[in-house]
Amino acid sequence: MRFFLRKTMETESSVTGGYRRRFTGFLRKCMFSVLSMGPVPNHIAFIMDGNRRYAKKRNLQLGEGHRAGFASLMWILGYCYELGVKYVTIYAFSIDNFKRRPNEVQVLMDLMLEKIDELLKEESLVRQYGIQLYFIGNLKLLSDNVREAVERAMEITAKNNKLVLLICVPYTSTDEILHAVEESCQDKLDHSQAVKQTNGSTDHCNQTSQEDHEHDIKVVDIEKRMYMAAAPDLDILIRSSGETRLSNFLLYQSDKCQLYSPAALWPELGLWHFVWAVLSYQRSYSYFEKKRKQL
Amino acid sequence: MPRHVAVIMDGSARWARRRGLPASSGHEAGVRSLKELVELCGKWGIRILTVFAFSSENWSRPKAEVEFLMGLFERVIEFELQNFSREGVRISTIGDSSRLPKSLQKLLNKAECSTKDNSRLHLVVAVSYSGKSDIAQACKSIAHRVRDGLIQLEDIDEELIEEELATSCCEFPCPDLLIRTSGELRLSNFLLWQLAYAELFFSEALWPDFGKAEFVEALRSFQQRLRRYGSRES
């Protein structure tokens, strides 16, 4: 009898659960329709902080907090897609995180491999929504198997065009800028070599100073070489878990964006935090548009 | 206590508007807040205070307001120069000074020279400053040195870039704490590289209303935070 009642209750709760989910989904769609009457952010970035604290709070294993964080990411990605956000950037792994204990770093790398595999399956959000995966950072620091998986994922999803998910791993902003300067300098050195070889040695002195002036390194040269050149300006930067700092993430790109730091740990971040962030952005957007028109 | 505090002094114009006063009154009230903050920093052992006085974007404000602000900077620095020496305040400016009136440029040079040996508090004033331009000029400078054969490509590292930034005049170029007043939640192109690990504190108070109590609140918040720099606490 008790078993029958439990089964009935489970059946009812899965039925009512199903109705509840459909109703919540309907409410969410209505809310997003209202939100999209105002300016919709084109590019949102997330610092997904708090997975380990979440695991500790619930007495879970180390990796379970990160798994819960991944599930949260899928929800947030879904909201971004539904609202019409075109670019989402996430801080998956900082170069500074290599300072953590080796077993935790290994857990994270293994989880990344597992999740890349999942994301590329037919039934995943990436396939359903047509999401392009873009891995941003100093990929040379990754182990061979992770780097191969990353490159494969980028290749497979290269033609998707509904939403771009930029996954920063391993990344810091200062490393990104350093890399951009090195690459720009290398470009100019290569170009100067080519010019000198083409022009020969006789007019070398006069031409060198003229060529140097015309091909002086400009800001656009450096910006072109940033890993994040693949994405447009950042509109909102959200950091979960209540910490208010950038931790060396998107420093160059966050000059004008809206910042938001809800207290919720990353696996606890939900629809209302997302809606609040967008509303806050829209309020600020109107203020700055008004100011701009006054000038 | 943080060694280096940076402040985006926002809200002076709004403060004046709410009182039916011209923007100039708001900026003058803002100067009083800054004086109080300089005094508190000196008293409490904060070594460097960097303030965002005028951004490169601010040049597009109404001409009258810009002219007033340039005049205000001159009057305040001229007036406070003797106080700086008495109180051991060293003043430096960062930003594109070529756009400033010649008289202000001259005064700022004089102020920097006459206070360079003061060591109680280093007051860094960002005028006509852009964080992006700061990074860009540092990168360009390094690129030129590579082009001219003064350094090799392999010599470029993050430390070298940091040494080329405008804040290299400071003993600790990177702020520990950034405070922005007026409730706006953005960096507005201020010290982007240097804020990599800074704790950010957003105060609802408009800048002329930011006083000792608000500063204490910001410092308390800073002291309660756990700074991990990417690793884990043991």
CB-based contact B146 A189, cutoff 8 Å: yes
Report residue B100 CA to chain centroid gap: 17
Q: Which residue of B has its CA nearest to A94?
A: B230
Report the percent of chain B where pLDDT is more than 70: 96
Each residue's pLDDT tens digit, B174-193: 999 999 999 999 999 999 99
Distance, in Å, from the CA atom of A2 to the CA atom of A8, rounded to the nearest integer, reads 10
Residue B113, in any domain of the structure: yes
Pull the structure tokens for residue A171. 């990344």
- The domains of chain A, with CATH numbers, are 42-171+227-293 (3.40.1180.10)
Q: What is the pLDDT of residue A77?
A: 94
| CATH at residue B198 | 3.40.1180.10
Confidence band (pLDDT; 50, 70, 90) for A151? very high
Please write the tens of the pLDDT for every residue from A120-147: 887 788 888 899 999 999 999 999 999 9
> B27 lies in a domain?
yes
The sign of the torsion formed by the CA atoms of B151, B157, B161, B163 equals: negative
Is a pLDDT exceeding 80 seen at residue A196? no
Q: Is B227 or A1 the better-scoring residue by pLDDT?
A: B227
Q: Round to whole Å and give the CA distance between A96 and A228.
A: 19
Q: Searching chain A, which residue's CA lies closest to the CA of residue B141? A: A217
pLDDT beyond 60 at A7:
no
Span A54-80, average pLDDT: 91
* In-domain check, residue B86: yes
Distance separating alpha carbons of residues B119 and B84, to the nearest angstrom: 11
Number of domains in chain B: 1
Residue B21 domain-assigned (yes or no): yes
Strand partners for A47: A91, A239
SS3 label, residue B54: strand
Closest chain B CA to residue A212: B147
Q: Is A255 an active-site residue?
A: no
Name the band, by pLDDT with cuts 50, 70 and 90, for residue A197. confident
Tens digits of residue pLDDT in B76-116: 999 998 888 889 999 999 999 999 999 999 999 999 999 99
Q: Please state the rounded mean pLDDT for residues A163-190.
A: 92
Q: Is the pLDDT of residue B227 over 80?
A: no
Tell me: pLDDT of A93 over 70: yes
Order of strands across the sheet that contains B89-94 = B89-94, B121-129, B48-55, B4-8, B177-180, B199-202
Which of B64-68, B207-211, B223-227 tops mean pLDDT? B207-211
First to last CA, chain A: 76
C-alpha distance from B169 to closest chain A C-alpha (Å) = 20
Q: Which of B147, B164, B225, B226 best tests the A interface by mutation, with the highest count of A CBs <10 A?
A: B147
Tell if the CB–CB gap between B143 and A260 is shorter than 8 Å.
Answer: no
Q: Is residue B39 part of a domain?
A: yes
Look up the domain containing B122 and give its range.
4-130+176-223
